[in-house]
């Protein structure tokens, strides 16, 4: 029988485990999946937290269920992990007990800290070293907040009694029984503490954010021996040989391995990652220079644009406003309108990401009339995905990237064919969705297989034809709609200034 790879995909709203069968030609085929929703905690406006223990328990449960469903641990050759990035976790080094809820990447509580650092002139140095701007999105200011929130936290961390890390480090720590405190380079690249060129923690940045280096995990490549699960987890140790942040894992899953390849994942947020090759590219258009992946001696860098609210805007329509009962109803409602009626939604629920970087922005609906109804809210939310994507592609073009011929997409929102056609129309580019859409889990599995020496290339082995949407909109109509969007963003920014 073909060997199996266990892939753990820990995301913002759920934890998923997938067993992939690895065929002799290197293709990965899913054979078992389990998923659990993750509770969201909002203790104050702009604050978003997760229970680290719930993340750990869900990871163990889904992985064990998948291993059992796929025939037992003896069938598995390796394990890969992918995770929500930038989310900050703090735990006791001796007991493994969480010391505070995790602070989620969407959280805005440290906006004043990063704003003050920028006002003091530190952003050019931080961006030059890490590729990142100063924003509460990234982990360093969250780590500092957690150390202040835990009694004697910073002193304990300096003594090695407290561990800090992103979710990958937390999961590897717990899966290994506390024996391995490691992180992969793509997650480390999102902390504001790692040098993007040397792939090492920087003492000056740790000092700037007041985060003791002793608390941080060891940085490792995305593929290779990272850790081994404790025997009691599955009944025998299983090597963990792949790890990457979710967006980088999706890049690998799509096989976007050549300079100029790009993908966007439409999940809770939406994240455009464009492969720029073997040399970091500094952005002048407020994108992020980041790492694509590191395997053996091969490194790929990327430019990234982050949209903070994508699928979460649809969730707001369902759970907040109650205008739909299920997310899938949004497509029929949007199709039922001739046009958007001049209604635009700027989904600044947790601030605005690239290229605006406005952490204090709030959501706004612009252009309402007496004729506006629930369907207009739904259509405006779906349209906002396309407008924000176009903003990112325009920024990518300003940074000198060649125009995209194909935009590879994945994530739950891509099941909405109307929304994907609108993305193609507004962006003027062919949108391509793979037949199997769990690109983050697939990418983690491919990295694990490579790290275990089971395959000799990360190149994708796509067996089924992708779904495609090609631009059909008249260019004048596209510009009219984009003009309305840009006016709506300006109005929203003024309203929240």
DSSP 43-99: SSTT--EE-HHHHHHHHHHHHHHHHHHTT-GGGEEEEEEEE-SS-BEEEETTT--BS
String of DSSP letters for 177-231 = TT---EEEHHHHTTTT-B-TTT-SB-HHHHHHHT--GGGSPEEE-SEEEEEE--H
Q: What is the pLDDT of residue 462?
A: 66
- Burial per residue of 338-354, b for 16 or more beta-carbon CB atoms within 10 angstroms, e otherwise: eebbebbbbbbbbbbbb
Give the pLDDT of the chain (497 residues) as one tens digit per residue.
789 999 999 999 899 999 999 998 888 999 999 999 999 999 998 899 999 999 999 999 999 999 999 999 999 999 999 999 999 999 999 999 999 999 999 999 999 999 999 999 999 999 999 999 999 999 999 999 999 999 999 999 999 999 999 999 999 999 999 999 999 999 999 999 999 999 999 999 999 999 999 999 999 999 999 999 999 999 999 999 999 999 999 999 988 888 888 899 898 889 899 998 888 888 888 898 999 999 987 889 999 998 888 888 888 888 888 888 887 888 888 899 999 999 999 998 878 888 888 877 888 899 999 999 999 999 999 999 999 999 999 999 888 877 777 899 988 889 899 999 999 999 999 999 998 888 999 999 999 999 999 998 888 766 678 899 999 999 999 999 999 999 999 888 876 65
Q: The tokens of 235 are what?
A: 């009944």
Element holding 131 (H helix, E strand): none
**Number of H-type helices and E-type strands within the chain:** 16, 21
Query: Which pLDDT value is given to residue 341?
Result: 93
What global pTM score does this model have? 0.87
**What's residue 472's pLDDT?**
96
Q: DSSP characters for 391-436?
A: HHHHHHHHTTPPPPSEEEEESGGGG-HHHHHHHHHHHTSEEEE-SS
Query: Measured between alpha carbons, how far is residue 417 from residues 196, 389, 420, 447 in Å?
Result: 37, 16, 5, 30
pLDDT at 497 (0 to 100) = 58
pLDDT at res. 29? 92
What pLDDT was estimated at residue 97?
97
CA distance 302 to 291: 6
Q: Which residues contact 259 (CB under 8 A, 6 or more apart)?
A: 275, 276, 277
Which of 129, 223, 228, 214 shows the shortest CA–CA distance to 176?
A: 228
DSSP 3-state assignment of 257? coil
Which are the contacts of 212, defined by CB distance < 8 A and separation ≥ 6?
Answer: 147, 154, 157, 158, 206
pLDDT at 400: 81
DSSP 458: -
* pLDDT in the model for residue 356: 84
Q: What local confidence, expressed as pLDDT, does residue 436 receive?
A: 87
């Amino acid at each position: 029988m073909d060997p199996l790879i266990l892939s753990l995909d820990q995301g913002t709203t759920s934890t998923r485990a997938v067993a992939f069968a690895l065929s002799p030609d290197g293709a990965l085929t899913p054979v078992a999946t389990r998923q659990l929703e993750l509770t969201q905690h909002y203790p104050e406006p702009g604050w978003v937290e997760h229970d680290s223990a719930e993340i750990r328990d869900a990871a163990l449960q889904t992985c064990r269920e998948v291993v059992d469903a796929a025939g037992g641990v003896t069938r598995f050759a390796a394990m890969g992990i992918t995770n929500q990035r930038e989310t900050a976790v703090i735990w006791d080094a001796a007991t493994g007990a969480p010391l505070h809820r995790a602070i989620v990447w969407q959280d805005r509580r440290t906006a004043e800290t990063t704003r003050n650092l920028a006002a003091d002139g530190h952003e050019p140095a931080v961006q030059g070293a890490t590729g990142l701007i100063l924003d509460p999105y990234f982990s360093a200011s969250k780590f500092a907040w957690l150390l202040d929130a835990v009694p004697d936290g910073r002193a304990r961390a300096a003594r090695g009694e407290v561990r800090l890390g992103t979710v990958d480090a937390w999961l590897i720590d717990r899966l290994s029984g506390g024996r391995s405190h490691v992180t992969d380079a793509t997650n480390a690249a999102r902390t504001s503490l790692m040098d993007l060129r040397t792939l090492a923690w920087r003492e000056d940045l740790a000092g700037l954010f007041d985060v003791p280096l002793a608390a941080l995990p060891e940085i490792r490549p995305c593929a290779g021996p990272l850790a081994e699960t404790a025997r009691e987890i599955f009944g025998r140790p299983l090597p963990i040989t792949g790890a990457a942040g979710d967006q980088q894992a999706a890049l690998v899953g799509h096989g976007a391995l050549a300079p100029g390849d790009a993908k966007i994942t439409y999940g809770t947020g939406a994240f455009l990652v464009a492969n720029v090759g073997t040399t970091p590219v500094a952005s002048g258009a407020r994108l992020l220079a980041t790492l694509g992946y590191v395997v053996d001696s091969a490194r790929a860098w990327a430019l990234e644009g982050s949209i903070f609210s994508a699928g979460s805007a649809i969730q707001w329509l369902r759970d907040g406003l109650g205008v739909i009962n299920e997310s899938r109803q949004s497509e029929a409602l949007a199709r039922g309108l001739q046009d958007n009626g001049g209604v635009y939604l700027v989904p600044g629920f947790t601030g605005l990401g690239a290229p605006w970087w406005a952490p204090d922005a709030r959501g706004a609906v612009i252009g309402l009339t007496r004729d506006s109804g629930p369907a207009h809210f739904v259509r405006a939310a779906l349209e906002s995905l396309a407008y924000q994507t176009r903003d990112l592609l325009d920024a990518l073009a300003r940074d000198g990237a060649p125009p995209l011929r194909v935009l590879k997409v994945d994530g739950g929102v891509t099941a909405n064919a109307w929304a994907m056609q609108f993305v193609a129309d507004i962006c003027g580019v062919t949108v391509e969705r793979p037949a199997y859409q769990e690109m983050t889990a697939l990418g983690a599995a491919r990295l694990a297989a490579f790290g275990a020496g089971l395959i000799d290339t990360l190149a994708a082995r796509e067996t089924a034809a992708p779904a495609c949407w090609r631009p059909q909109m008249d260019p004048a109509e596209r510009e009219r709609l984009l003009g309305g969007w840009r006016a709506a963003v300006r109005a929203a920014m003024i309203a929240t200034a």
